[in-house]
């Protein structure tokens, strides 16, 4: 074999090798995208031109006790709550595995009394379960999470839970406008203003469960709220339920995770106030793109 033939053969083999590497990389990218896609659930809302209703009032469920219920029982309650307004969903509903898959069977949950009064420890599960607000009210796409830090040294157990010492704030009303891709939840400002630092974090896994995966707070359209260095891009919501150790109860509690700085620590600077939240199923090129759904939280 001549020197030139040897060089040509070597170059051909190098090209084949590089092609195989690139092909393998492309297949890996395809597999990664397929895996990401497979994690999306099948749930979807019947809104916009698919809507069946102009407007409807959604009956709200109060906080309830979830401690030591089986995972199947909790998800059954969730599914029943969704189907109470089946005209708001397209097709069948199945609780999203990325959100609810890590929920543990027959586990305790952070309680509203534990959260606001006792703190972490063995009494952290006292009172109805905080996450039941979202789980039993699936069409509350966003739930504002308040912190009330009542000290047992200053407030008696007989007083906590009264209007002047709330453990949590529940919405007064929830109204949907499906054809307009719009919904509004109203809370009592008298309750919200008693929270420590008048700050809220947004629990939005209900929206994620309906495949509204990207969230953005429109501060320019909101009223009397403030966040230091607010995000300028939509945020891919990672929230899910799992058994964590933050409650301090032996073995841990089912609770919300992880921390979500872009939608946490939103200050309410005056009253009345409102928080305008936009959602998209897929990442928009910018926040100038019309949202797939708008959810407004009002404090009146």
The size of the chain, in residues, is: 300
Q: Closest Cα partner for 61 from 119, 122, 138?
A: 138
Same domain, 227 and 293: yes
57 bridge partner residues? 175
Please state, as a whole number, how many other Cβ atoms lie within 10 Å of the Cβ of residue 232: 8
Same domain, 284 and 182: yes
Same domain, 22 and 103: no
Q: How far apart are CA 103 and CA 116, in angstroms?
A: 23
Q: For each of the chain's 300 residues, which pLDDT tens digit applies?
A: 555 555 555 555 555 555 544 444 443 343 333 333 435 688 999 999 999 899 999 999 999 999 999 999 999 999 999 999 999 999 999 999 999 999 999 999 999 999 999 999 999 999 999 999 999 999 999 999 999 999 999 999 999 999 999 999 999 999 999 999 999 999 999 999 999 888 999 999 999 999 999 999 999 999 999 999 999 999 999 999 999 999 999 999 999 999 999 999 999 999 999 999 999 999 999 999 999 999 999 999
Residue 297: exposure state from Cβ atoms within 10 A (0-12, 13-18, ≥19): buried
Same domain, 53 and 127: yes
Q: What are phi and psi of 251, to 5 degrees?
A: 90, -10
Same domain, 32 and 80: no
Look up tokens 């929920």; give the residue.
103
7 bridge partner residues? none
Q: What are phi and psi of 284, to 5 degrees?
A: -80, 155
Same domain, 2 and 99: no
Same domain, 138 and 21: no
Same domain, 257 and 144: yes
Q: How far apart are CA 274 and CA 9, in angstroms?
A: 71
DSSP-based three-state secondary structure for 257? strand
User: What are the C-alpha distances in Å from 128 to residues 50, 66, 90?
Assistant: 36, 7, 31
Which domain covers residue 210, as residue numbers? 46-299
For the chain, what is the domain count?
2
Same domain, 11 and 157: no
- 220: tokens are 């320019």
User: What pLDDT, on the 0 to 100 scale, is given for residue 5?
Assistant: 55
User: What pLDDT, on the 0 to 100 scale, is given for residue 15?
Assistant: 57
Find how far residue 254's CA is from the centre of its chain.
15
Same domain, 8 and 80: no
- 102: tokens are 């890590």
List of residues 6+ apart from 172 with CB closer than 8 A: 186, 187, 188
Sheet with strand 143-146: strands edge to edge: 143-146, 199-203, 266-268, 225-226
Do the Cβ atoms of 295 and 178 come closer than 8 Å?
no
Q: Closest Cα partner for 247 from 111, 48, 94, 68?
A: 111
Same domain, 184 and 285: yes
Same domain, 12 and 149: no
Do the Cβ atoms of 42 and 91 come closer than 8 Å?
yes
Do the Cβ atoms of 116 and 124 come closer than 8 Å?
no
The pTM for the full model equals: 0.86
């Amino acid at each position: 074999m001549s020197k030139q033939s040897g060089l040509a053969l070597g170059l051909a083999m190098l090209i084949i090798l590089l092609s195989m590497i690139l092909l393998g990389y492309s297949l890996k990218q395809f597999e990664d995208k397929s895996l990401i896609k497979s994690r999306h659930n099948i749930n979807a809302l019947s809104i916009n031109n698919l809507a069946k209703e102009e407007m409807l009032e959604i009956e709200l469920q109060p906080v309830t006790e979830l401690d030591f219920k089986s995972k199947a029982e909790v998800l059954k309650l969730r599914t029943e709550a969704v189907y109470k307004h089946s005209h708001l969903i397209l097709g069948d509903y199945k609780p999203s595995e990325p959100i609810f898959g890590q929920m543990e069977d027959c586990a305790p949950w952070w309680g509203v009394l534990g959260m606001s009064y006792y703190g972490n420890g063995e009494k952290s599960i006292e009172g109805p379960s905080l996450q039941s607000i979202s789980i039993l009210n699936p069409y509350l796409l966003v739930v504002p999470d308040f912190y009330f830090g009542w000290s047992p040294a200053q407030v008696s157990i007989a007083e906590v839970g009264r209007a002047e010492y709330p453990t949590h704030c529940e919405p007064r009303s929830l109204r949907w406008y499906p054809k307009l891709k719009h919904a509004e939840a109203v809370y009592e400002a008298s309750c919200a203003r008693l929270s420590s630092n008048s700050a809220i974090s947004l629990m939005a896994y209900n929206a994620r469960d309906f495949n509204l995966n990207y969230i953005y707070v429109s501060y320019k359209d909101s009223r009397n709220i403030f966040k230091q260095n607010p995000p300028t891009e939509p945020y891919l919501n990672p929230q899910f339920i799992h058994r964590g150790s933050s409650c301090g109860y032996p073995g841990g509690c089912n609770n919300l995770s992880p921390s979500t700085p872009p939608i946490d620590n939103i200050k309410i600077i005056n009253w009345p106030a409102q928080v305008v939240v936009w959602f998209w199923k897929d990442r928009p090129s910018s926040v100038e793109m019309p949202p797939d759904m708008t959810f407004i939280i009002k404090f009146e």
